[in-house]
Structure formats: C-alpha cells, structure tokens
C-alpha cells in the first residue's frame, strides 16, 4: 500500500466505456428516485440553472424599469415584487445550492475517492425538498408575489397583503434541504475517505465544502425557526416580532442576520474552493500555501458567526455593540486576503493556460476583491450610516455574490462540464461568454457604487433626474451580462448533443475526479483509489495525448 509515489494513481480506471452514470439506468423514474450522487447533482444543476434564468429575468425587469425615472415598464407595486422575487430566487434557489448541492454533489465523492455520499437517501430527500421549496416560492409568485425584499423584514412581512407565507415557507423548506446537504457532506468527509486520504491530502474544494457544510448545519436551523415564527406570527399573531402586538421587529433582524451573514459565507466559501482548484489546474502548479487556504476557510466559517450586527448599525443597536461587530468584521478580511494572496502566489511562475474556467477565475479575483474591499468600507460604522440602504450596498453584494459566487460557479461549471456530460464545450465561445460576463458585471455594478455614494437609496422605484445617466449605464451593463449568459446557455446546451467527446482529463489536473472516465462510471471507482500524495502533486508526470485530446500519465 505504501508504494512510492508513481503516476500509477493517475491512470484512467479501465472499464466498459459505454457504461456510465448517465446510461446506467433508463427512464424518468430512474432519475427522480435515483440514489446516485452524480444524478442528484445533475438534477440540482439543471434546476439551479433554470432558476438562474428565472432570477435573471426578474433582474432584467428591475433594471429595465430603472432605465428612466418614473414608470418605464411596471407599476411600483410590481417593482417591489420583481426585486423581491429576484432576490429570493437568486439567494435561496441559485447561489446557496449552486456550488455545494449541484457541483459539490457530483464532485465531492469523486474527489474524495468514495463511492457515494454517506447518506444517499438523505441526499435525494434534500433534492426533493429543494423542489418542494421552489414550488412554494413559485406559488407565492402565482398567488400574489411577496413584496418585502428577500430579507422578509418585520413589519413589512406582517402587514403586506401579498402572499408572504408561501414564500417564507418555501425558504423554510429550502433551509432544510441545505441542512441535510451539509450534514451529508460532513459525514462523508469524516467517514468515507479512502485509505491514505488524510485531511491534508484533500483537495481544497473539499475543505471549502466542509467549512460550508459546518456553516449550513450550524446557521440554517436558526433561520428555519425564525421563518417558522414569522409564518406563525402572520397566521395567529404571536406578538414576538409584530410591533402592533407588542413584538420586537429588531429581534427579527437579529435572528435573520444571525443566519444570513453566515449564509453569505455559505455562498462564497465553496466559491473559494472552486477558485483554488481552477488556479492550480490552469497554472499547472501545486497550490501555494495549502494549509493556509484550507484553514482560512474554517476561520471564515467561525468568524462569520460573530458579525451579524454589521447589518444593523442603523437599527438602533448600541454604539458599543456596533463597534464590536465592526471590529470583528474587519478581522474577516484577514483570512479572505490570505486566500487572495495565495492564489496570486500560485499563479506566479506557473504555466498559465487561459481556458474559459481560468478566465472566470481571474475575473473572480478582480471582482471579488472589489466586493470584499467595499465590504470593509461598509463595516466601518460611520461610513455605514451614510451608505446603509443605498446602491452602494447593492453594488457591494452584487460584486461578491454575482461577481464572486456566480463567477466561480460558472468557472466550476466549465471546468467540470466534461466530467458531468462527457462532452467538451466550444472553447472560443466559452471565452467570449466569460469576457462578456466580466464586462457586463462591471458595467452593471460599478456605477451603482457611485450612485450609492451620491445618495441613491436601494429598492426605490423612482429617482432624481441627476441619477439617470448612471442608472442607464447600469441597465446597459445588465443587458451585456444577460447576453453573456444567453450565449453561454446556448453553447453549453449545444455541446451536450454535438460537443466532442471529453477525455478523462482534459485539463491536466491532478485531483482524483480526473482519474475516472468522463462521465464517471456508476460506482465511480472500480478499485478504491489508494492515495499517497497531495492533491496537487504530479503535474509534471502528465503529458498531453493528441489522440484523446486529454492528459495521460507520462512514461
């Protein structure tokens, strides 16, 4: 077992090439009730992408409405509904499940060298819960869409006449979906590692998923109970949150942010993991500062629980509490910056290949850094008083969520696309798409920083004439962004049918998922992989094989 490091472990597992997880069983029921993590992941992926299109549609509606002051397209009530739906769909249906549940589900056991996640049934249940939650959100849309903003603040949510309950119940169910995914991942990583796969031989994506799972398990129950209380508050009038019954609406904010700040790390930490993989693979170089990156994810997960008050500087929180929250928020910049510097150091003197996933990774570095730095502005109490609830905040969180999480998700999607589908996407179109997305992103959201500092409040239907130029700039940026995603959707869909067959290892990457064929066989690994090296060793033991258009072990 303790053989010296050879390239042998990079060999493609020989198997009947026809039999893979996509073809193993046939029929719609073999998908709906599958216990295979790859199929569940793929169903998540499709669902998330469809939701992304829906959320994107609402975003374009909102941006189009803001093209001119006053009414452009929809009424002010519809506007409130549009941005609420946009936020709720993007947060609860897209970003939170996007990387962990969709990409992670497929990749985690493969990278770990396991046959499945620890609890396949629970995994399927998570997906079914996701669908159920999405249906409830949809129900709210159909009945009369909630107009409270994705944060469901009391007393808006206790007094509006729109269908808040289905929307909140949807989010509640989605929370459980997320909890069970997290629980499953933690147990899988603890208990299903194959021989030789020590903690510090795990790819960084797994560290990131692990840290994320910890947050999911520890934070999500709190939002669960909060949303449940909100529902009951509306139904029977508890008087816990509703001020008209003697309740305390600020208590709702505390509960909400106690989850929702950690939740922003549920959104971004897996993205960090993806970026670590991409930067290594496309620099063909082992990661710089492996342990720092791995442990900084855990540090972020931990600190993330202590900063929720930075959303409440203007909610009547004491100055002392504000100062403490502010200081701890600053601390989070440290582990975040550690990652950025290590990624840059990894690229230094690497053989950088500018394939589409790498373009997304580079875009991430740029955009996320801006998002993170502006977060530090916002965490400064005195500045926050000026900027709170302005477009500056909107720009900040889009830079981190859209520019961070979604960009990383797109990078990961392209990176693992050959593994998922067994097909290559067209590289040139991919690059064009990535560049469009990058430009669109900056055009859309950069002007919003300026709008915010000049006092444009968020969630407003109307605005002063002097803001018109910047708003129009932003809207045009949104169209460019939309075009980039549309292009991406088209070529990805086409590639499923007509793309060239993918080799096992198209990128010359070294983590375990690239050692099994694309798409992977039903049971992932025919022989348990025996791991005797770090995840990013052996780049030099691979050579490009012209015939299969992929990398194979040298010698």
Partner 1 sequence: MESKANEGARVADAAKSHGDDHGHAEGGHGHGAPLQYPYVAHHFDSPQQQFDSGKLGIWLFLVTEILFFSGLFCAYTIYRAQNPEVFYWAHFYLDTNMGALNTVVLILSSLTAAWAVRAAQLGQQKLVKINILVTIACAFTFMGVKYVEYSHKFHDGLLPSRHFDPKHEVWEVEAFKKKHPEAAEAMTRLMAKLEARKATAAVDLEVPHGEPLALVPVVNQVAAAPAEAAEGSAAQATTTQAATAQEAVAQQAPAQEGAAPAPAQEAAQEPATQEAGTAEAAEAGAEGTEEAAPAAPAPVAAPAPAPAPAAEEPILDDDVFLANELRKLTPAEATPLLRAGVLQRQADGPFELVRPKKAGVFFSIYFFMTGLHGVHVIIGIGVWIWMLVRAGRRKFGPKYFGPIDFTALYWHLVDLIWIYLFPLLYLIH
DSSP string, 337-373: HHHHHHHHHHHTTS-----HHHHHHHHHHHHHHHHHH
d(CA 514, CA 550): 10
Q: Which two tokens stand for residue 336?
A: 């975040």
The contacts of residue 393 (CB under 8 Å, 6+ apart) are: 378, 387, 452, 458
Instruction: In angstroms, give the least distance from the CB of 140 to ligand HEM.
Output: 18
Piece of the chain touching partner 1 by CB under 8 A; list 196-204, 263-271, 282-290, 538-546: 196-204
* Beta-bridge mates of residue 545: 550
263 phi/psi in degrees, rounded to 5:
-60, -30
Which residue has its beta carbon closest to Cu ion?
A: 261
- What binding mask, one character per residue, do residues 58-97 give for partner 1 by CB under 8 A, x or -? ----------------------------------------
Residue 222 lies near ligand HEM (rule: CB under 6 A):
no
User: Quick check: 336 binds ligand HEM (CB under 6 A)?
Assistant: yes
Q: Which is nearer to ligand HEM, 310 or 419 (CB)?
A: 310
Write the burial class of residue 320 (CB in 10 Å: 0-12 exposed, 13-18 middle, 19+ buried): exposed
Our CB check for Cu ion shows the closer of 312 and 502 to be 312
Nearest approach in angstroms of CB 320 to ligand HEM is 17
Give the footprint of ligand HEM on residues 105-164 (CB under 6 A).
151
Among 88, 118, 208, 294, binds partner 1 (CB under 8 A): 118
**In whole angstroms, how large is the CA radius of gyration of the chain?**
23
**Judged by CB under 8 A, does residue 197 bind partner 1?**
yes
Interaction residues for partner 1, span 504-543 (CB under 8 A): 523, 525-528
Tokens of 307: 């900063």
Interacting positions 350-409 with Cu ion (CB under 5 A): none
Does the protein bind partner 1 through residue 398 (CB under 8 A)? no
Instruction: At 544, give phi and psi (nearest 5°).
Output: -80, 130
**Which CA distances in Å does 122 have to 38, 208, 528?**
14, 21, 24
Report if residue 405 touches ligand HEM, rule: CB under 6 A: yes
Question: Hey, which residues between 245 and 264 contact Cu ion (CB under 5 A)?
Answer: 261
Strands 542-545 and 550-553: antiparallel
Structure tokens, 395: 């720009």
CB atoms within 10 A of CB 348: 11
Asked if 292 touches partner 1 (CB under 8 A), the answer is: no
Task: Give min distance, CB of 51 to partner 1, in A.
Answer: 25
Q: Which position among 197, 202, 230, 393 is part of the footprint of ligand HEM (CB under 6 A)? A: 393
Q: From residue 273 to residue 312, what is the string marking binding to ligand HEM with x (rule CB under 6 A)?
A: -------------------------------------xx-
- Phi, psi at 87, each rounded to 5°: -65, -50
> What whole-number distance in Å separates Cα of residue 134 and Cα of residue 88?
10
Pick from 5, 19, 70, 237 the residue near partner 1 by CB under 8 A.
237
Q: For the window 35-74, what string marks contact with ligand HEM as x by the rule CB under 6 A?
A: ----------------------------------------
Q: For CA atoms 201, 206, 211, 216, give the dihedral sign.
A: negative
Encoded tokens for 263: 């939740």
CB of 224 to partner 1, least distance (A): 6
Give the separation between CA 487 and CA 434, rounded to whole angstroms: 10
The reply on whether position 489 binds partner 1 by CB under 8 A is no
Collapsing DSSP to helix, strand or coil, 388 comes out as coil
Q: Which positions touch ligand HEM (CB under 6 A)?
A: 151, 264, 267-268, 310-311, 329, 332-333, 336, 372, 375-376, 378-379, 384, 388, 393, 396-397, 400-401, 404-405
Q: Which positions touch partner 1 (CB under 8 A)?
A: 114-120, 122, 179, 183-184, 186-187, 190-199, 217-218, 220-222, 224-226, 228-229, 232, 236-240, 242, 245-248, 251, 255, 523, 525-528
């Amino acid at each position: 077992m303790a053989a010296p490091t050879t390239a042998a472990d990079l060999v493609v597992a020989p198997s009947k090439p026809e039999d893979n997880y996509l073809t193993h069983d046939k029929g719609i029921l073999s998908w709906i009730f599958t216990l295979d993590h790859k199929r569940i992941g793929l169903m998540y992926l499709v669902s998330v992408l469809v939701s992304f299109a829906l959320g994107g549609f609402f975003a374009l509606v909102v941006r189009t409405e803001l093209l001119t002051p006053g009414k452009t397209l929809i009424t002010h009530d519809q506007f409130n509904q549009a941005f609420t739906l946009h936020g709720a769909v993007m947060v609860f249906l897209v970003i939170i499940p996007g990387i962990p549940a969709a990409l992670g589900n497929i990749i985690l056991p493969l990278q770990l060298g396991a046959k499945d996640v620890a609890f396949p049934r629970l995994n399927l249940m998570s997906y079914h819960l996701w669908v159920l939650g999405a249906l409830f959100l949809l129900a709210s849309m159909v009945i009369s869409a909630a107009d409270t903003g994705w944060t469901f603040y009391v007393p808006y949510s206790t007094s509006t006449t729109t269908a808040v309950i289905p929307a909140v119940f949807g989010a509640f169910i989605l929370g459980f979906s997320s909890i069970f995914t997290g629980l499953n991942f933690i147990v899988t990583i603890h208990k299903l590692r194959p021989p030789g796969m020590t903690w510090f031989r795990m790819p960084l994506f797994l560290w990131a998923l692990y840290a994320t799972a910890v947050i999911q398990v520890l934070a999500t129950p709190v939002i669960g109970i909060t949303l449940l209380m909100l529902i009951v508050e509306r139904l029977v009038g508890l008087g816990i949150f509703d001020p008209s019954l003697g309740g305390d609406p600020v208590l709702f904010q505390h509960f909400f942010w106690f989850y929702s700040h950690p939740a922003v790390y549920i959104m971004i930490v897996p993205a960090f993991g993806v970026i670590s993989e991409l930067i290594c693979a496309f620099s063909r170089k082992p990661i710089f500062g492996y342990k720092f990156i791995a442990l900084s994810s855990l540090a972020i997960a931990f600190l993330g629980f202590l900063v929720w008050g930075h959303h409440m500087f203007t909610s009547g929180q004491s100055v002392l509490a504000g100062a403490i929250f502010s200081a701890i928020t600053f601390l989070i910049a440290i582990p975040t910056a550690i990652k950025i510097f290590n990624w840059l150091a990894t690229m230094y003197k690497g053989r950088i290949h500018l394939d589409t996933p790498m373009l997304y990774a580079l875009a991430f570095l740029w955009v996320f850094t801006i998002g993170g730095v502006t977060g530090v502005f916002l965490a400064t109490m005195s500045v926050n008083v000026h900027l709170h609830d302005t477009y500056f905040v909107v720009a900040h969180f889009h830079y981190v969520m859209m520019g961070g999480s979604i960009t990383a998700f797109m990078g990961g999607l392209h990176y693992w696309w050959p593994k998922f589908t067994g097909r290559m996407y067209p590289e040139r179109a991919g690059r064009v798409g990535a560049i469009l997305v990058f430009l669109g992103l900056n055009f859309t959201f950069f002007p919003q920083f300026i709008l915010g500092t000049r006092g444009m409040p968020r969630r407003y239907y109307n605005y002063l004439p002097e803001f018109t130029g910047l708003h129009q700039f932003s809207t045009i940026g949104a169209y460019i962004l939309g075009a980039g995603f549309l292009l991406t959707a088209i070529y990805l869909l086409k590639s499923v049918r007509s793309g060239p067959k993918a080799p096992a290892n198209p990128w010359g990457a070294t983590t375990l998922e690239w050692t099994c064929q694309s798409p992977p066989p039903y049971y992932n690994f025919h022989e348990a992989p025996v791991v005797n090296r770090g995840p990013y060793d052996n780049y030099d033991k691979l050579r490009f094989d012209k015939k299969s258009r992929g990398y194979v072990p040298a010698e």
